[in-house]
Amino acid sequence: MIITFQNIILLTGFQLQVPYFIDALTVTDIELGSEMPVIRRAAAPYIDNRGLWIDLDIVYSGGCRMTLETKCNLMKLKKAAGEEDMDTLSHKLER
């Protein structure tokens, strides 16, 4: 269950805008809490060309915690700061 949940997060949820000096994010742990989801309402099932569908209203109050791991390449910051310094210096010299 947790591996499937991790795959869903990796495939759909990782379109986050992270700074350029942060490498890939990795899900290392997921805790889904100890409570069970409660189905509040279920509509009649129907079938179309894409399969069987059931509309459910589900309430979950058990909480969720996810641990992410990443690596920061601070040398990219240093390089970017050096390039900015060179740009500033070249603008000063042009004047």
Is pLDDT larger for residue 14 or for residue 64? 64
Q: Which residue has the higher pLDDT, 62 or 49?
A: 49
Question: What is the pLDDT, as a whole number, of residue 31?
Answer: 84
Average pLDDT of every residue of the chain: 76
Query: 51-53 and 65-69 as β-strands: parallel, antiparallel, unpaired?
Result: unpaired
pLDDT band at residue 78 using 50, 70 and 90 as cut-offs: confident
DSSP string covering 37-89, please? PEEEEEPPPEEETTEEE--EEEE--S--EEEEE--B-HHHHHHHHHHHHHHHH
The model's pTM: 0.43
74 Cβ contact list (under 8 Å, min separation 6): 21
Is residue 25 within 8 A of residue 14, CB to CB? The reply is yes
